[in-house]
Structure 1
Amino acid sequence: MKALATLLCALFTASAQGQDLVLYIIPDTPAHMEAWQIVQSAAQRAGIGVALRPLPPRRGMVMANKGELDGAIGRTMLAARDFPDLVPVPESIFNYAPSAWSYKQFDVAGGWNALRGHTLCVRKGYSLTDVRTRHLQRQSMDSDDSLLRMLRRGGCDVAIMDRNNKAGRAAMAADQALYLLQPPLEEAPLYLFLHKRHAGLVGRLSEALRQVKRE
């Protein structure tokens, strides 16, 4: 994960100068790198230059809302509700499906309520997970690897990660005792948000995202 963060920083340093938009992304999150690649392809199709900057979730949203950055990649509507100067591009990037990863097998068909009575490991700054688990016993961590490590050591019963989380899938392939409990606890679309000064680009980027996803 440190290597991923280093790569992100290098990409930002090398490419930010002269680009049209600098967009923030949550580091140490492979799914957000995939989101960046989708946005990058859509922006290229729309004739818009983009660069990325890895930042902690809250800090990135604050800076984007102030206009110190041009936008945010891969956040939910819930994550943006307190940032009125961010405008969503209405075509979603993909769906985030928070799921329960555990060494225990139990029924999660009831969604988030099924987690009552279990201890949780969650990612810091993920607004959707934060709200949904507010009244549950939990501890927050900075990376997917930290979640899995704490889960493996018995520090929590359940780690909350996307159903397609690459670190989780790799861990499950290496450890048959680890389960991805189905169905997902929820599904929520992730969006590209732009600072309001770039509202004129929303239509172009939305159409470009549709084309990229279709292809």
Structure 2
Amino acid sequence: MDYSVEYRSYSAERSLAETMKGNGHAEAGRVHALKELYPSLIRVDEPLLRKRELVAFSMGESDFAGWNSIKGKSVGFMRGWQICEINTKGVARVERTTSLRSLFIMLKEGRIDYALAGRLDGTAASQDVGMNGLHVHDPPLESQPVYLYLHSSASHLLPLISQELKHIHDSGKTRAIIADYIHRGAKE
């Protein structure tokens, strides 16, 4: 593929709104069900990541057994993450941030008990803020493939992008890309 890409990072909700208006051509890292809610976005068949895990991070070990473990605790997550909004009803205190960096600073400083984030993004962000003693709780709260969605104006790129993603996954390059992402996240 010989295309240049400009990446802009917005909160989850704003990003969707901008792309729906045609101010962007694609949405990255979105779940399968998005296509029913946003008809002007078209899903690329091959997942961007075959498995994205939403996990809870804490400082040190704790008894953790899924969503019920956060009841009565303070948690933080990225603004617009609907899966977190739905599952944190009844939680003592919820903090919503616009950046992973600020989320992990809150955890590091003890302002929240748990940070809820994707395993890869959370790992990179925690390294970026120099965290020690971080614990990633398993099993994940959620695990599912995530997709790239294109605005309908870019639908002609669907087959090409799907083919490239499949090649990247099948060749094993995904692991190298993820390792590089985590490594760079610790330095940026």
TM-score (norm 1): 0.67
CA distance in structure 1 between the aligned counterparts of 2:33 and 2:102, rounded to whole angstroms: 24
TM-superposed deviation, 1:99: 0.9
- For 1:209, the aligned partner's letter is L
2:159 alignment partner, SS class: helix
Superposition pairs of residues 169-184 of structure 1, within 5 angstroms: 169=127, 174-176=131-133, 178-184=134-140
Q: 2:78·2:100 contact (CA, 8 Å) conserved in 1?
A: yes
- For 2:160, the aligned partner's letter is R
Q: Deviations over 1:116-169 (max 9, x none)?
A: 222101111223333332443311012222122212222211111222321225
CA distance in structure 1 between the aligned counterparts of 2:89 and 2:119, rounded to whole angstroms: 21
Match of 1:144 in 2: 100
- For 2:99, the aligned partner's letter is S
| Structure 1 residue runs without a partner (length 5+) | 1-43
- For 2:97, the aligned partner's letter is M
TM-superposed deviation, 1:180: 1.4
TM-superposed deviation, 1:76: 2.1
Candidates 21, 24, 39, aligned match of 1:69: 24
Q: 1:100·1:181 contact (CA, 8 Å) conserved in 2?
A: yes
Candidates 60, 68, 73, aligned match of 1:113: 68
TM-score (norm 2): 0.75
Structure 1 residue 102 and structure 2 residue 58: aligned? yes
Match of 2:169 in 1: 213
Backbone CA RMSD of aligned residues: 2.4
CA distance in structure 2 between the aligned counterparts of 1:133 and 1:204, rounded to whole angstroms: 39
Higher normalized contact order (CA 8 Å, seq sep 6+, divided by chain length): 2
Work out the number of aligned pairs and report it: 167
Match of 2:186 in 1: none
Higher deviation after alignment, 157-166 or 127-136: 127-136
TM-superposed deviation, 1:49: 4.5
Q: 1:98·1:162 contact (CA, 8 Å) conserved in 2?
A: yes
CA distance in structure 1 between the aligned counterparts of 2:40 and 2:70, rounded to whole angstroms: 35
Match of 2:124 in 1: 166
Residues 135, 86 of structure 1: alpha-carbon distance in 2 compared, 3 angstrom cutoff: farther
Structure 1 residue 93 and structure 2 residue 48: aligned? yes
Superposition pairs of residues 12-161 of structure 1, within 5 angstroms: 44=1, 47-78=2-33, 81-94=36-49, 95-103=51-59, 105-109=61-65, 111-136=66-91, 137-161=93-117
CA distance in structure 2 between the aligned counterparts of 1:131 and 1:80, rounded to whole angstroms: 19
Question: How many percent of aligned residue pairs carry the same amino acid?
Answer: 26
Match of 1:9 in 2: none
Structure 1 residue 197 and structure 2 residue 153: aligned? yes
